[in-house]
Amino acid sequence: MEWNFQRAERLAAALRAGEVTSAELTDQAIARIERDDKAINAICVPDFDRARAAARGADQARARGEDRPLLGIPVTVKESYNVAGLPTTWGLPPHRDFMPAEDAVQVSRLKAAGAVVLGKTNVPVGLQDVQSFNEIYGTTNNPWDHGRTPGGSSGGSAAALAAGFGALSIGSDIAGSLRTPAHFCGVYAHKPTLGLAASRGMVPPPTPALPADHDLAVVGPMARTARDLTLLLDVMAGPDPLTLGVAHEVALPPARHERLRDFRVLILDEHPLIPTGSAVRAGVNRVADALADAGARVERHSPLLPDLTEASMLYTQLLFSSLVARFPIEAYERLRTSAAALSADDQSLHAVRLRATVFSHRDWVAANSRRELHRHGWRQLFAEFDAVVCPITPTPAFPHDHNPDSMQRRLGIDGVEYPYLDQLVWAGVATMPGLPATAIPAGRSPEGLPVGVQLIGPMFEDRTPLRLAELLEQKIGGFQAPE
């Protein structure tokens, strides 16, 4: 039997029933990678020998009567996670030989749950792109169209899932890095509530793997079904055992509803700062129609929605002030000169980005205070609604664009070009306030490319958008293998 595209839940049941062994699943996955990954380049660091050994160990454990959530299931890991014995580079050439001494906390949790790690998946340089290419490992192609990006920065993981290279993967997200690749490749991803899943060991080399909190950034699961996202999130969720985990355990509340008809959903398909492409708008409307058809309460406007323009400005300020914090002083001085040359009247996103790169601590504290007002606004909105459905980016996957200056790139939306980085505003809707967001497939573009949407839920109520994703999968369908 061909197992490579089966959901993780099905694989777990088959392993428990003795229909297949982990060794067989692992050999099938490796054979598929060796056959197909030359064209896709998703698996940048294979670890096949240790994977086969882990699979044999999983089969032996099952023979002894053990049963763990992911026992014997082949998975992949984003390159940015530390895995003992494998390089962690973040695509940065000076660190191509960096070898961490221990696993990231999430890799440890995968292994403790019994997963078989096939290898690492490709990323952009420093995880700072909506594409996945770097000098060390080259370019990852979208399995649906090799001339297009699979997204970034978890693009290798999304491409691997779409191509049948393992049943699950783990990635990270600060600017849509889980959700955008899922949208571009037709798979599922979940950006957890900020702080829900520990991220120690997911740090740029050679930074020590300390239990630091990183603003905006989360780690999260990727899969080919919504139920598999929940399966993997249950493995990943929980505080770092070195800090809050000393005193706290996770007890996520159940989903607010179990039936589509009971959900109250706000639909957003327009952003004040960038148009929504026709293919993505059609995907949002498809989900809205499915919800209405099932009897859910569907609204398209609410005075409770926090202002999206101010939210985008705050997100841009918080994001870019964080991203440049480790830049060399020479680069910082160049940015400061460029920011000083801006007109005071220039309030474009480009200007906001540039000014944010040279934020003072006082500036950041002011932005963070405004963020808290937005969080309060979202709490009020989620007293009236259970979820918000909106785009992840304005377009399906776009052609590779390796211009080294991302400020000079352009994104085509229905024939009109816009600044490349402006597409991040939709990711920021959930990221800035730290809300959970589940990316789901929502159809195809006229060119046959996958189109996804995100389901945003209340803070720390991650099971609500995940359950909504599961119900929508039953209603409109889910993952389909690339044609």
Q: Which residues are catalytic?
A: 78, 153, 177
Which residues are 70's β-sheet partners? none
Is the Cβ–Cβ distance between 103 and 83 less than 8 Å? yes
CA distances from 142 to 90, 97, 164, 296, 363 (A): 20, 27, 13, 34, 39
- Report helix, strand or coil for 46: strand
What would the two tokens of residue 209 be? 């793997």
Is the Cβ–Cβ distance between 255 and 466 less than 8 Å? yes
Burial class (CB in 10 A: 0-12, 13-18, 19+), 165: buried
What would the two tokens of residue 120 be? 């690492």
Alpha-carbon span 235 to 318, nearest angstrom: 29
Alpha-carbon span 122 to 171, nearest angstrom: 11
End-to-end CA distance of the chain: 20
Alpha-carbon span 452 to 76, nearest angstrom: 22
Residue 199: asked if its preceding bond is cis (omega within 30°), the reply is no
Q: Tokens 């960038």 appear where?
A: 274
What would the two tokens of residue 275 be? 């148009």
Alpha-helix runs per DSSP H in 149-237: 155-163, 179-185, 226-236
Is the Cβ–Cβ distance between 79 and 120 less than 8 Å? yes
Is the Cβ–Cβ distance between 315 and 307 less than 8 Å? no
